[in-house]
Copies of this chain bind each other. A is one copy, B any other.
Amino acid sequence: MLSFTCDYSEGAHSLILKRLADTNMNQEPGYGFDAYSESAREKIRAAVNIPYADVFFLVGGTQTNATVIDSVLKGYEGVLAAQTGHIAVHESGAIEFGGHKVLTLPSHEGKLDSGELEGYLEQFYADGAWEHMVIPGMVYVSFPTEYGTLYTKQELTRISEVCRRYKLPLFVDGARLGYGLASGACDLSLPELARLCDVFYIGGTKVGALCGEAVVFPGKAPAHFFTTVKQHGALLAKGRLLGVQFDTLFTDGLYMTIARNAIERAMELKRLFSGIGIPLYIDSPTNQQFPILTREQMYKLEGKVQYEVWEALPDGRAITRFATSWATTVEQIDRLREIFLEL
């Protein structure tokens, strides 16, 4: 059955599997001290154009968010995020498990508004009781957001400016970073994004890898970040698994090449939906599309194509999510078109 349920349905890009096989029996030190991880770190530093950036490889997104946020925050600090932010909703309280509150601000199709952020901070410190509250210690944004939307360069710059004015580190969750950068709607380059924030990660799990997220500190990592990673259970013994994957993804531009595939397929999806009059919940420029399907349409798709039901609407329709990925083929889109036309 055809599936557009999510962007982590397949294994890894074939070049990654090949590279894992080629290097398999080489003996390497653990914990990220292997040659592949070192090579991958160098390639990522080149890609972000910051020669001395600190780069670490972790396994998954929630783990990375929890570890990075805990490493940056003081005990009495919380992290500001949109109400729809992954850390605020879908991480089973991993941030709170680490002792920190997620302070939420309104979400605009997944995005924070720099004005509202600034307003919050102004009001916070104007409140006579602020020392009885959780002190904001960093700002979290996702790029793309959980709704597939993107900050423009201007929007992210403004958020970055507010953060710097208030000395708040800015953290960009890039679980789908490739799909953001590859979008036609994106006016930010990877080096530009790196300069606007204090820590971000380049998602591998959803962009061609079996697992893995590359955490980049454009400046300096917090002291003893390695130990914090270990303490969070996030230190992979065979770091080579992550090193090989990111080294492959950052060789000959593979990461962006395969990200573009997802975007091209997503735009075909978009045209397909609009061509047959299916409305979209959000005008997403990335690999997640949110068609609003009628009960009849969903009924007819049953057993033929899988997707995620995002939210049921009062009128019986539902906002659904169709995700493309590095692995989505033109044939799959064509087959989906046929299915819809048969309806």
Contacts and interface: CB of A to CB of B under 8 A. Distances in A.
Nearest to A104: B104
A90 interface: yes
B236 A76 contact: no
B71 A93 contact: no
B233 A233 contact: yes
Contacts of A148: none
A96 B101 contact: yes
A213 to B, nearest CB: 10
A288 interface: no
A235 interface: yes
Given A8-B237, A210-B241, A241-B11, A94 B231 contact: yes
**This chain's copy number in the assembly:** 4
Given A25-B10, A26-B10, A29-B5, A230 B96 contact: no
Contact of A9 (B28, B98, B232): B28
Interface of A: 3, 5-6, 8-12, 14, 17, 20-21, 23-30, 59-67, 70-71, 74-76, 78, 89-94, 96-102, 128-129, 131-135, 205-206, 210-211, 223-224, 226-228, 230-238, 240-241, 308-309, 327
Given A9-B30, A63-B234, A75-B231, 6 more contacts: A5-B29, A8-B238, A10-B26, A92-B228, A96-B96, A135-B227
